[in-house]
A and B are shown apart, each in its own frame.
Chain A
Amino acid sequence: MNTSPTKSSALDRPSEVAVQATGLVKVFGDNRAVDGIDLDIRRGEIYGVLGPNGAGKTTVLKMLATLLPMDGGRASVFGVDVRDDPHLIRQLIGVTGQYASVDENLTARENLWLFGRLLGLGSGQARSRALELLDQFGLQEAANRPISAFSGGMRRRLDLAASLITRPPLIFLDEPTTGLDPRTRGQMWDTIRGLVADGCTVLLTTQYLDEADQLADRIAVIDRGRMVAEGTPDHLKESVGSSSLHLQVTDRERMTDAAGLVERVLESTPVLTPEAGGITAALTSADRTADVLIALRDADISVSSVAVHKPTLDEVFLAITGRATDDETDRDQELEVAR
């Protein structure tokens, strides 16, 4: 361990960089889980790492959070080397894992008190910080309940609260909304945006394209341990196209009329699948769906089903890598529909 003071290289350290990593490698047996990933995350941004299960997202995050040793490459957080100074890194980061990392045997309040004490707060300070966070995360009523009685969303919120006790400047969020219902998901998103408003930098991993789109300033798409694309959400979506509207007309006789209406409202030519009474058209905005439905009702055309599909992670992958993800993405689509 080097004994020079932390700020020795302040002048040549670009202060706008939060995380810098080059050539990160992690090998498990014969599997190169992370195979040469470079990251360059600026201060104050939300950086999304998008990829299917097993792509290496969590492994990257664990290496940066000092939870896993690196097998290759270098990384630094605010200019501090991850490999050389893990103890310093741990003072700069808050980590919220995929599975809530809070103590099942304690109540919400006791959990936050415990972590506060371990992070150097006095007993009274830790108590008031715990109350503050419980309040901020809407958990005050459940404060004295054991965690085992908590719902998934409540656990996840408590988990995030526990990561924010000492207001670390960099927060790692590992799939913060996987398995949450849409409402809780939205709340989580608001909280994450709030962190950035405070000047925090957030690195989040996700399997959901729309989550990355909603939150991230920049997105890295990773697959099989390698980065396959990086850019703003808009940049990524351009490569996939916008969402689309799928309609099924009850009375097939009226297909042509319906298609004409859709074309007029959306100003784009729909694709027809007459056998099933299906009409598919590109949407510039999901709001236009209502206009289409109103026009159809006015024309007395009844529809048996309506669906709006956003581009899925699968489609992004297809566009970027020319092949589908190895993973089943049914779950993603279910959530898209549920929203």
Chain B
Amino acid sequence: MTTMTTETTRVHPATSDPAEGLQRHLSLGTTISHTFTMAWRALKKMRRNPEQFMDVTLQPLLFTAMFAYVFGGAISGDVSDYLPSLIPGVLAMGALTACMATGVQLREDMDKGVFDRFRAMPIARIAPLAGPMVADLVRYALAGTLTFAAGIAMGYRPGGGVFGSVAAIALVMVCGWSMAWIFTWVGTWARSASSVQGISMMFLFPLTFLSNAFVPADTLPDWLHAFVNVNPVSHVVSAARSLANDGALSGEVGWSLLTCAIVVAIFAPLSVRSYKRSM
């Protein structure tokens, strides 16, 4: 092992002031650059641990087929009639499950030594959280594409065409990314990865199943109907339906995006605060 003594001049001459010329604030550009570097790290990690893709590959395929054949006849009288309302539902569910994994993996990651290094480095505090979330867009895109592919294989012909379908997937990706901030926040304070999973499930099940994702909301009792109507997942599903099936940009799209913005505005600062405090 050689050392740096070969350099004729010392790196830190005694006459210089080390505290001179330090950066007091991080610019927005630096913050974005840090976030993308962290996203690169998360993508490398995904490529080396392909089992992480299980939930976004198997689940859309399995759930699309399962729900279509089990509920199709009962709800719409026919599998192919059910598909137009089911596919956007599975799409939303897939994104929600995928963003729950974001929180679980963050917790796992934070327990590793490398996070100590990130904490001791002069980097944007939001980058270690936002980076993996940017990388997770790949997962949402994969889940969305596979859901549509499974639907199309079963006879679904989206009325909105390619544009409508892509727009629906894009909307769900944005929503998944925004909702992931909730689970990221849980990840910053929960004690372990499995507790993140448990806590997230508690949110996730009512949100997905008490929505219009799989059944028409008007078949439900009034009190439940009221909840389903305010459930943000219902708005996302309705918005995705109108995009995919009619190629129409309905008001639901606006509501969905507004909800997403509110979620990010609340949970992103909470997550960063909680991350700074942890350890």
User: Which A residues lie at the B interface, using CB under 8 A?
Assistant: 6-7, 10, 15-16, 43-44, 65-68, 78-80, 85, 87-88, 90-93, 95, 97, 99-106, 110, 114-115, 117-120, 135-138, 146, 157, 162, 167, 169-170, 187, 190-191, 193-195, 197-200
Contact = CB atoms under 8 A, between A and B. Distances in A.
A154 B15 CA distance: 35
Given A100-B113, A136-B2, A190-B1, A197 B10 contact: yes
A190 B17 contact: no
A302 B203 CA distance: 77
A137 B17 CA distance: 28
A90 B19 contact: no
Tell me whether chain A's interface is mostly helix, strand or loop, or mixed.
loop
Nearest to B120: A95
A193 B13 CA distance: 16
16 contacts: A6-B19, A43-B14, A91-B23, A92-B18, A101-B117, A103-B41, A104-B112, A105-B49, A106-B44, A118-B118, A119-B122, A191-B1, A194-B4, A197-B5, A197-B10, A199-B13
A79 to B, nearest CB: 5
B120 A198 contact: no
A198 B19 contact: no
A248 B271 CA distance: 65
A115 B34 CA distance: 10
Nearest to A194: B3
Nearest to B34: A118
B4 A67 contact: no
B116 A101 contact: yes
B121 A119 contact: yes
A302 to B, nearest CB: 41
Contacts of A6: 19-20, 22, 24
Give the size range of B's interface with the partner: 35 or more
Given A97-B116, A106-B44, A114-B37, A198 B5 contact: yes
A190 to B, nearest CB: 6
A90 B3 contact: no
B195 interface: no
B19 A79 contact: yes
B117 to A, nearest CB: 4
A76 to B, nearest CB: 9
From A16, A162, A197, name the one whose CB has the most chain B CB atoms within 10 angstroms: A197
Contact of B12 (A146, A187, A194, A199): A199
Contacts of B10: 197-199
Contact of A118 (B112, B116, B121): B121
A44 to B, nearest CB: 6
B123 interface: yes
Nearest to A103: B114
Given A120-B30, A190-B1, A7 B120 contact: no
Contacts of A167: 11-12
Nearest to A44: B14
A80 B23 CA distance: 13
Interface string B66-99: 0000000000000000000000000000000000
